[in-house]
């Protein structure tokens, strides 16, 4: 399907932006929140990986990688596994600190791989299926996929901005 190539390419560009941003920072810089309401690069990558993981897992009816493959144990954060990271206060966001950058990249890659597998196998006709009636208008499968990809792109751009605030480049 042609739409799959387009969607996976957009996710790949976001992933590359995150990797390049992280490569230009040391670990302390990546873990730094430059201002209370501007999350760290660490948080932005972790949150993006989680939102892809949790939302795609929900769409395909599987358990999130965060739990099923032990990412929660590898990260060992002082946050509950069911934390709603999209609602994190600055105090909660500060708890997302990693000891190695590769951990972030590996979880992000795993989540994007999950998304790409899903996109390659989803029936395009199901894109119009309503999957969430908690919103007005109700959310379709296609809406959710667009939201997942849009969020990844937005946060990868925020990571570039945050890097510039932290290290001035």
Q: Which domain holds residue 55?
A: 4-167
- Give residue-wise pLDDT tens across range 63-119: 999 999 999 999 999 998 888 888 888 899 999 999 999 999 999 999 999 999 999
Q: What CATH code is carried by the domain that includes residue 112?
A: 1.20.120.450
Compute the mean pLDDT over every residue in the chain, rounded to the nearest whole number. Answer: 94
Per-residue confidence (pLDDT) for residue 83, from 0 to 100: 80
Query: Token digits for 122?
Result: 């989803």
> Which of 87, 88, 98, 84 is closest to 27 using CA atoms?
98
Per-residue confidence (pLDDT) for residue 1, from 0 to 100: 46
Strands 130-132 and 139-140: antiparallel
Task: Report the distance separating Cα 46 and Cα 20, nearest Å.
Answer: 15
The residue ranking higher by pLDDT, 156 or 81, is 156
Number of structural domains found in the chain? 1
- 8 Å CB contact between 48 and 18: yes
Per-residue confidence (pLDDT) for residue 2, from 0 to 100: 56
Residue 13 CA neighbour count, 13 Å, CB half: 11
């Amino acid at each position: 399907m042609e739409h799959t190539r387009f969607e996976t390419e957009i996710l790949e560009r976001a992933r590359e932006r995150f990797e390049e941003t992280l490569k230009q920072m040391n670990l302390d810089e990546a873990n730094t929140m430059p201002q209370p309401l501007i999350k760290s690069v660490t948080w932005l990558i972790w949150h993006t990986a989680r939102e892809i993981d949790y939302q795609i897992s929900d769409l395909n009816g599987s358990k999130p990688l965060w739990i099923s493959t032990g990412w929660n144990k590898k990260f060992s954060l002082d946050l509950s596994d069911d934390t709603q990271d999209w609602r994190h206060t600055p105090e909660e966001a500060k708890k997302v600190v990693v000891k190695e950058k590769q951990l972030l990249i590996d979880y992000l890659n795993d989540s994007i791989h999950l998304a790409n597998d899903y996109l390659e196998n989803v029936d395009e006709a199901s894109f119009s299926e309503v999957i969430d009636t908690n919103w007005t208008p109700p959310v379709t499968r296609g809406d959710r996929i667009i939201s997942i990809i849009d969020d990844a792109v937005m946060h990868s751009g925020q990571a570039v901005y945050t890097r510039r605030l932290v290290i001035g480049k």
